[in-house]
Amino acid sequence: MNPKAFLGATLIATALAVGTAAAQAPPMCHRHLSVELTPDVPNPRDLAFLSSLLTQPGFQLSWTGQNGSVVELDLVGPGPDDQCRAVIAAMRKDGRVQSVTVTHN
30-53 pLDDT per residue, tens: 999 999 999 999 899 999 999 999
User: Per the domain annotation, does 50 fall within a domain?
Assistant: yes
Total of domains in the chain: 1
Looking up residue 59, the CATH number of its domain turns out to be 3.30.70.60
Give mean pLDDT, residues 79-89.
92
User: Per the domain annotation, does 33 fall within a domain?
Assistant: yes
pLDDT, residue 24, reads: 72
User: Per the domain annotation, does 45 fall within a domain?
Assistant: yes
User: Per the domain annotation, does 77 fall within a domain?
Assistant: yes
Q: Output DSSP code: residue 13.
A: H
User: Per the domain annotation, does 40 fall within a domain?
Assistant: yes
- State percent of the chain over pLDDT 90: 62
Instruction: Determine the structural domain holding residue 78 and report its residue range.
Output: 26-104
User: Per the domain annotation, does 30 fall within a domain?
Assistant: yes
Q: How far is CA 36 from the centre of its chain?
A: 19
Render 26-67 in DSSP notation, one character per residue. PPEEEEEEEEEE-TT-S-TT-HHHHHHT--STT-EEEEEEEE
Taking the chain, what is the end-to-end CA distance rounded to the nearest angstrom?
Answer: 49
0.75 exceeded by the pTM? no
